[in-house]
Chain A
Amino acid sequence: MSTSPRAAQQKFEPWKDPEAKPYVRIEKITKQFGDFLAVDDVSLDIYKKEIFCLLGASGCGKTTLLRMLAGFERPTSGRIYIDGVDMTSIPPYERPVNMMFQSYAVFPHMTVEQNVAFGLKQEGLPRTEIAKRVVDMLDLVKLGQFAKRKPHQLSGGQRQRVALARSLVKKPKLLLLDEPLAALDKKLREHTQFELINIQETLGVTFIVVTHDQEEAMTLSSRIGLMNHGEIIQVGTPSEMYEYPASRFAAEFIGSVNMFEGRLIEDEPSYVRIECDDLEVPIYVDHGISSSPGATVWAAIRPEKIMMSREKPQQADNWASAIVQDIAYMGDMSIYLLRLDSGKVVRITQPNTYRHADDRITWDERVHLSWHPESPVVVTK
């Protein structure tokens, strides 16, 4: 799983600062199409210079939310503030916001240069300034040599850059990107992700990015807003979303996870024990949760946090016995699918630290799994 390079570089956490004013405030926004609720009571605060990702499956209302920020859809109820100004009923051509469309929407009858200059011409800027800003922007996105080309003479990746340059050259307060990388092939996508972050940091623009790809969200974002059926399920940094999912949906949507359904048999402030039908021994978690004894809960354990050995572990809790059902060699690591005696299949990953490991665990072997008491995340919904 990739982690955000931003988080590694510096501490950028305005959302933790009670003094910080949100740059974009989405207040109880609802959008109905007829009887259909596309966006359901969404409230979000987004801060200056963030890359905020709206993540969710196709059809969950991400684009609709973005289009309300751009001004193409009127919210059924709720308000939108940008930099403190109420934008709810301002038309798109008067908002200090630009959007990069999923189809890129590059004007087919104009050259690259004309595409990028279009927005500046609408502002009525002097010709020399337009020319200068267009050249600078084309250099930034590495399209200088293609300035005179028409869009149909460009590759998909280049068209994406034209769309990006065209919105950024207007120096918007906020850039909205709808699935910016979905149309690119995998290699180009990875490269473009990092370039997008670089450009965002160079210009200091606030980005709101819509994506259905959780890896893309993890790589790009300062924070993620996870959506389902028009609602925001959870908001957090990529590592919070991965390590502390608040629901089964969040745990399963981001990364892969082994989910054990069980009952709370011991519920103390400092630890809990969970009895699962799939496991012989209980799961022991070294922190308390807010639920009551006997309640149905789920313990989510990430594949890389489960250890595997031939010997039976010494501890009383947090282990299981299984048979190797399948192994997938991925190069940097291997994925093992292990069948518990109950029939449940558990997925674990192991790094391939050594090149020649002679006694590697192989197909149909009986093995023992174990995990640390801090590893499971217990969710109640």
Chain B
Amino acid sequence: MNMPLRKTETAMVLPASAAKVFPLPAAKRGTFASRTMARVRDVAAKLIPPIVMIGLLLIVWQILCSKPGATLPSPSKIWTEAYDLIVDPFFVAGPQDIGLGWRVLTSLQRVAIGYGLAGVIGILLGTLVGQSVWAMRGLDPIFQILRTISPLAWLPISLAAFRDSQPSAIFVIFITAVWPIIINTAVGIRNIPSDYRNVAAVLRLNHLEFFVKIMVPSAAPYIFTGLRIGIGLSWLAIVAAEMLTGGVGIGFFIWDAWNSSRLSDIVVALVYIGGVGFILDRIVAGVATIVTRGTAAN
């Protein structure tokens, strides 16, 4: 019942990790010069293809949007119109006129709180649910239904409950990110090999020792799958939530730009959102590889 779910969720993340290229260890050590050359060639092999692709896309975009009557701005137009936004992410020209870097940081702050809460509560709840067959049977269907609800659908409820936009936005992040963390943690706990349980039993580990020394490390790959899905969803949710709640976040900036017809600014903001989302995902994936090193391979 849960395995297929985890599989689909893993599949959601997989494209990013499947595209990761692992550098092969050098077969034999050459001179310093030849090694540097090899390194340069390695980096070039990774960087040149995406750069070429982006260049081509920009050219096509430029051609398509340079025609008279084009509805969207071309790259060159964006560059001239949104020059201030592009070159200086951290300017402050007034209370509502600040660089996109500041706006992203504001949004990230909300994400940090909401996602942090989701992480802690998700892992604890997931552990509880994974431990007990009855908790699993009772709660799993509820989680499966709740997790399909769009983040924005929670917003009105959240606004009604908190009567303030800041905690509402944080709550939306929390409620969006928490389900995959709970579900994946629970699956991880259920999949702890019985051998490890036997080892713990022979050693007479108490509940706390078992949690810290066996459960968490053993379930870590699953937990991180949940955390990684969670951070992606959080970032999706905050942009949408901020469009409705206002404030200084990157989401509201897009809404504001739309209302004053600054299409070029919106495009720049989209680039920011994509970049930050990518970096967030890489950070969680990086932490995962460090923490779960050795756990998956056996």
Decide if A and B are genuine partners. no
B residues adjacent to A (C-beta < 8 A): none
